[in-house]
Structure 1
């Protein structure tokens, strides 16, 4: 794979991947906009209503539904009325997923069954199918594995790009904000997580941990331009972070949305103002030249996925302070050893080239020292150098992408 990436020019890779993206989008559009919504195979997903599932979590649940609809060649109906962010549903901020999603009633779907042979399948968006994680369409694999460093990331990026098409008024508001805060590159985006989410799905990180990588990025740029103005776009729900950064890093210009400077209560977070704020955070982060965040966060992962969808390859444009990229709450990733590893320390795991392991994606198991925590069914559990293995994707048939 590395040899293929090195041999292909940036222009060639962009052309090939753009062509593949156009093909994927065309197929999604065709499937999602049937001529007759009443006489087509449907997958009906109801939005995730779990209290601890915020916008990023809900978005990745939607991606799971889109993936399932594509594989089974069904039109997706996504029911989001009564959404905690906007009572009229996702269409408040995003264009409808298809020409069927604005139907005024779904009473006729009440008897739908969750069986693959049924004409209509009805399910909750958080009803996760195991095959969704770490898989890509077999039909797209030859191109992706040759021209992209992270094929799974590219695949998820295409789906989130489709799911997050803004309503015209929201697009206008975004462009106005870009002008107002003078969002121009080079800029590093950082998402600093605080609050209740830290207890269950992420650890606390000091602001200096994020800024270490911002400093590295701009110090490298200063080798060719000593007068560059270091800028950081800040995404956070903690109103105390911005004053701390401004005081500790006076040479930086910090760009923020309207929502960073005020206390974010649950009433604000789960409402239209909070929805606009988190959407803008994701989109601004995705437009940065480099991102520093924690990939245990759904918001961080969504920003990385949108970035990947809009660039040739974003694999080197992010630094996570904890885990690697994944979809939803999948805490163990399948990897395959690309080289032998003979332990130097007692906590390390022995590997032979070709061995399969499960790598932990739990934030507490990540120490950013170049190692990952892995488990092998034969040799047990231990740390391995990350460069001696890579994720192993499952290739699944998606008939919709046949030539």
Structure 2
């Protein structure tokens, strides 16, 4: 699977998914993967399941409005380009009678055609007021859900409130750990329980969750061990302990890709991937940074001269080489080149700029050497192997933040265990 396909597909595991969920809620609706979906109502009073069929399936509903139609057109345009690009490369690899110059010319023209069509769709959204309407709707929905989560997490009486206990002790990668907390949070929301996060001894810091993030509650943060019952408990259970995401029996109805029933219609019309947007709302609430972290990020943003347009590039190395296919830096940058080539159709003087994140210090020097015509922004601390866990965690969060704010992202997907 080429990197290209990974730039527009939401993953199911790892830091990449954390990044993409954040980018979905921070930059609206530009990083999505499909609008071909069936809607299946769940048996719960407040969730609706979103079933995404396999590629090529005709098991989907087409809604008669401009929102869904526009997204279908965008998806079809992307799919057409992927098909064209892949087959042209395949033909060339078989020594088809087309020289390298002609091959590159055809590829360039095809890419320009797609970019023009995408630009036309963007103009359409601006002219009919769709872009501003969507922006307002996205803000209203996000504010609504953040207020709901705040009320859930700050009950009037913590002593009598029903709670769900989540242990942050999976001993896996950062993305894996965050996924576990998200699943706990979703189960807590679906069962109307306040989430209590037990993070003592978190592998990423000798402290706890509050070392970098604000607490999930201002008023309710502890439970009594004698009141804890294993999942699922019942309506009278004071505190339910949620197991690992792979283990809950029965499986909660509130897991991805479920969304709240009462906002499902609005959300489906707003967003091409409602389930990812909804999951991103939990992540947004969880990723409220401590004031000192906010200050560090603002200072770094100023020192980086972080400006738009910018592409985020996340190059995985070290232990990921054993878990997933290895990709050369050139394969990542091929997608970056395509993005800026599209922008140059309308702005020949556009500055090519990337924010580069990697766990391999040599990648930064390689990028500067091979791509001197790019502005390459990065956290310079990432070039140094830091033994202190808390400082490493701060740098990781900083990379996730800046990548999520990019206009376009180029990543690969792998397990983060």
Partner of 2:153: 32
Question: Where do residues 182-193 of structure 1 align in structure 2 (5 Å cutoff)?
Answer: 182-193=305-316
Name the TM-score, length of structure 1 as normaliser.
0.68
Which of these residues, 282, 292, 304, is aligned with residue 410 of structure 2? Answer: 292
Cα distance 1:147–1:24, how it changes in 2: closer, same or farther (>3 A)? same
Cα separation, 1, equivalents of 2:315 and 2:197: 31
Aligned residues between the structures: 290
Partner of 1:65: 184
**3-state DSSP of counterpart to 1:97:** coil
Report the RMSD for the aligned CA atoms in angstroms: 2.1
Tell me, yes or no, if the aligned pair for 1:187 and 1:288 is still in contact at 8 Å. yes
Tell me, yes or no, if the aligned pair for 2:164 and 2:188 is still in contact at 8 Å. yes
Question: Where do residues 17-96 of structure 1 align in structure 2 (5 Å cutoff)?
Answer: 17-50=138-171, 53-96=172-215
- Note the C-alpha offset of 1:126: 4.2
Cα separation, 1, equivalents of 2:280 and 2:224: 33
Query: Which protein has the bigger strand share?
Result: 1
Cα separation, 2, equivalents of 1:36 and 1:147: 36
Aligned: 1:11 with 2:132: yes
Cα distance 1:128–1:11, how it changes in 2: closer, same or farther (>3 A)? farther
Cα separation, 1, equivalents of 2:179 and 2:392: 18
Cα separation, 1, equivalents of 2:240 and 2:191: 10
Which of these residues, 231, 243, 259, is aligned with residue 114 of structure 1? Answer: 231
**3-state DSSP of counterpart to 1:18:** helix
Cα separation, 1, equivalents of 2:371 and 2:65: 41
- Note the C-alpha offset of 1:120: 1.0
Question: Which ranges in structure 1 are unaligned for 5 or more consecutive residues?
Answer: 299-328, 330-403
Question: Which ranges in structure 2 are unaligned for 5 or more consecutive residues?
Answer: 1-62, 71-127
**3-state DSSP of counterpart to 2:147:** helix
**3-state DSSP of counterpart to 2:262:** coil
Aligned: 1:173 with 2:291: no
**3-state DSSP of counterpart to 1:233:** strand
Cα separation, 2, equivalents of 1:77 and 1:30: 14
Query: Which protein has the bigger helix share?
Result: 2
Report Cα offsets for 1:340-380 as digits up to 9, x if no partner. xxxxxxxxxxxxxxxxxxxxxxxxxxxxxxxxxxxxxxxxx
Report Cα offsets for 1:40-75 as digits up to 9, x if no partner. 10001110332xx12121111111011000000000
**3-state DSSP of counterpart to 2:229:** coil
